[in-house]
Amino acid sequence: MTQRTLVLVKPDGVQRGLTGQILARIEAKGYTLAQLELVTATREILERHYEEHQGKPFFEPLVEFMLSGPVVAAVVEGDRVIEGFRSLAGATEPTTAAPGTIRGDLGRDWGEKVQKNLVHGSDSPESAEREIGIWFS
């Protein structure tokens, strides 16, 4: 079943020059980059994207981090791409993410208020549809 998902290369990935390597891993897995854009996120976009986290202690540091630099937004397509990309990305915590994953190979804990973990991927078909609409309106 072909699916679409939103993948974001977060500001830390862009700033560290890892965008090409991350996108190459997605393509090497056999997924298609259907849309791709370098975006400077606005607070409005981020508040819509992270709306379920509003009011949580990490919300404001997360928004500030995502505003700290450009983001690469991609619509990625493929069979079971939502599950597949999340597996490729690895665990949210880079320190414990498995070797061979994006976060396991390229990420680390920087000891800051917010987890800089390189990438975001939608967690369900419903989230993917909502998030794609936010970033590619």
Active site amino acids? 120
Rg (alpha carbons) of the chain, rounded to whole number: 14
Amino acid of residue 47: E
Q: 92 labelled as ligand-binding?
A: yes
Q: 117 labelled as ligand-binding?
A: yes
Q: 136 labelled as ligand-binding?
A: no
Residue 79: beta bridge partners?
A: 2
Q: 103 labelled as ligand-binding?
A: yes
Q: 29 labelled as ligand-binding?
A: no
Answer whether 122's CB lies under 8 Å from 82's CB.
yes
Query: Which segments are annotated as binding site for ATP?
Result: 10, 58, 86, 92, 103, 117
